[in-house]
Amino acid sequence: MLLTATLLFLASVLGALALILLMPRPRKNPRVWRVLGPAGALVGVSALGMAWLVVALGTDLVEMVAEDALGLPRTAFIYYYLFSFIAVAAAVRVITHRRPVYSALWFIMVVLASAGLMLVLAAEFMAFAMVIIYGGAILVTYMFVIMLASQNEPQHEDDTPAYDRFANDPMWASVAGFLLLAILLSVYFSNNAIAANPDAAMKTDAYVIENQLANRSLNEENKELASAPSTSPDRLSNVERVGLDLFESHPLAIELAGVILLVSLIGAVVIAKTHVPNEDQVARGPAGQPKEAV
Amino acid sequence: MLAALDTLSPLALSHFLMTGAILFVLGLIGFVTRRNLIIMFLCTEMMFQGVVVSLVAFAKLHHNITGQTFVIFVLTIAAAEAALALGLVVLLFRRRRTLDAGAWSAMSG
């Protein structure tokens, strides 16, 4: 276990190093940085690889490849590595890219990859809700604001504004962040594994159909569900389970979520209607007359 | 064919938690280092992503759907936050013509 902990810590250090190399910064000598950028990426990939190697060493490597050793069918295992590699690589690009538009596009990649992870975890509804709400709605809003708030289109690399070209203290932030990561990972991969809580176990589909669905008002459809062939253990789909849990167990939370959305809607309208002077123009206005900009 | 999981062993859970933790930490680092207001809020969304992956993994471990239900509320908060934060960003941009967070450092006292 000491070996695992050491390797995890080393992987975190390498990750921090890679991130420091990849962060946007003033580049006095572009030729050097053309080498250092890919070098940083290489270090990052090796850090990621090492973290995963640790995971593999923590178990028995041979056992792990065998089916069901992890409780993962083999294919799901491969998909886990694929999606989480895409997610992490895209996440690094989000925070290191100099152009906000590309950062937002890479973030869509992060969302798609983590939706893939949720598919591996058999949470189909969450995966697609993620793609629709994050990739569709929220990111489009971000794109709109980036377009609205961007200065003139940069002609070449160094035309981007200074606040996009330099990062604030990348070194200390990376060190602190990856220290947090090392601590988290050492807890996750420690000996006392997190066991499933039997008290938290979900009610079986048969129980839900007999006791919960029977009392609901949509009797026709519920009868149809209840008369489904009882041989299959999973008669309720993921969406049905989520919907039932949402409306049976959390009615107050739904109302509160509605209130939050309403308040943020009102807040957004108030913010949008606020009239602000452009301070630059106010300061430079002709003969001390403040000129209001829209 | 994408084979979804029936059960999750504690070790497999650690895998998913690791991905979630990496996403969270990268978002955290991005929030601290980047100076562009829009990127900073993008990074908070990335931290949400990490938390969501962990939540769904725990839901699978405990065979309890509430973890997934909770993701809906995370999404609600994320949407509300995006609407308000981006409104504020546009407001600040109209005032100073810059997205630099440092331009507002006077607020930190």
Question: How would you write A34-88 as a 3-class SS string?
Answer: HHHHHHHHHHHHHHHHHHHHHHHHHCCHHHHHCCCCCCCCHHHHHHHHHHHHHHH
Q: What are the Cα distances from residue B54, in Å, to A63, B14, B21, B95?
A: 25, 9, 8, 39
Domain end (from A142, A164, A188): A188
A115 to chain B: closest CA residue: B53
Mean pLDDT is lowest, of A24-33, A181-190, B61-70, for: A24-33
Q: How many residues are listed for chain B in this entry?
A: 109
Tell me the average pLDDT across A269-285.
75
Determine the pLDDT at residue A67: 47
pLDDT attached to residue A260: 95
Are residue A15 and residue A124 in the same domain, yes or no? Answer: yes
Q: Would an 8 Å CB–CB cutoff place B45 in contact with chain A?
A: yes
Which of the four pLDDT bands, split at 50, 70 and 90, describes residue A159? low
Identify whether residues A137 and A271 lie together within a single domain: no
CA distance B13 to B42: 27
- Tell me the C-alpha distance between B96 and A290, whole Å: 15
Q: Which one has a higher pLDDT value, A238 or A254?
A: A254
Which residues in chain B have their CB less than 8 angstroms from residue A133's CB?
75, 78-79
Could you tell me the pLDDT band of residue A291, with boundaries at 50, 70 and 90?
very low
- Per cent of chain B over pLDDT 90 is 46
Q: Quick check: A170 and B33 CB within 8 A? A: yes
Residues of B in contact with A278 (CB under 8 A): 94-97
In one-letter notation, the amino acid at residue A126 is: M
Note whether residue A281 is domain-resident.
yes
| One domain for residues A36 and A131 | yes
Residue A91 main-chain phi, psi, to 5 deg: -65, -40
Number of inter-chain CB pairs under 8 A, A vs B: 303
Cβ-nearest to B45 among A107, A265, A267: A107
Q: What span, in angstroms and rounded, lies between the C-alpha atoms of A98 and A107? A: 14
ipTM over 0.95: no
pLDDT band at A186 (very low <50, low <70, confident <90, very high): confident
Q: Do A257 and B76 touch (CB under 8 A)?
A: yes
CB A46 within 8 A of CB A68: no
Q: Which of B61, B53, B73, B67 is nearest to A91 (CA)?
A: B53
The residue among A255, A271, A274, A278 with the most chain B CBs within 10 A of its CB, best to mutate, is A271
Measured CA to CA, the distance from residue A117 to residue A123 in angstroms comes to 9
* Claim to verify: residue A175 and residue A205 sit in the same structural domain: no
Domain annotation covers residue A41: yes
More confident position, A63 or B14: B14
Query: In terms of domains, do A218 and A184 share one?
Result: no
* Angstroms from B6 CA to nearest CA on chain A: 8
Give CA torsion, residues A194, A117, A49, A2, to 10 deg: 0
Please give the residue range of the domain that contains residue A260. Answer: 201-288
The residues, any chain, with a CB within 8 Å of residue B99's CB and separated by 6 or more, are A100, A149, A161, A163, B36, B37, B38, B89, B92, B93
The total of other beta-carbon atoms located within 10 Å of residue A211's CB is 10
Q: Average pLDDT of B2-15? A: 71
**Residue A27 above 70 pLDDT?**
no
Q: Does residue A184 belong to the interface with chain B, where contact is any CB pair within 8 Å?
A: yes
Residue A195 lies in a domain: no
Task: Note which residues in 208-227 of chain A have CB less than 8 A from chain B.
Answer: none
Count structural domains, chain A: 2
Q: Which domain CATH number covers A131?
A: 1.20.120.1200
Residue A39 CB-density burial (10 A; 0-12 exposed, 13-18 middle, 19+ buried):
middle
Domain boundary among A188, A219, A250: A188
Q: What average pLDDT does the segment A153-164 reach?
A: 66
> Is the residue at A71 inside a domain?
yes
| Per-residue model confidence (pLDDT) at position A294 | 44
Q: Which of A162, A188, A214 is at the close of a domain?
A: A188
Q: Could you tell me the pLDDT band of residue A98, with boundaries at 50, 70 and 90? A: confident
Same domain, A130 and A218: no
Asked whether the predicted pLDDT for residue A113 surpasses 60, the reply is: yes
Structural domain boundaries of chain B? 10-97
Q: Which of B65, B107, B108 to probe by mutation at the A interface, max A CB count within 10 Å?
A: B65
Which among A145, A188, A246 is the nearest to B86, CB-wise?
A145
Top-level CATH class of B10-97? mainly alpha
* Residue A154: both structure tokens together: 């940069």
In one letter, which amino acid is B4?
A
Mutate to test the interface with B, among A14, A120, A248 (most CBs of B within 10 A): A120
| Rounded average pLDDT over A235-243 | 81
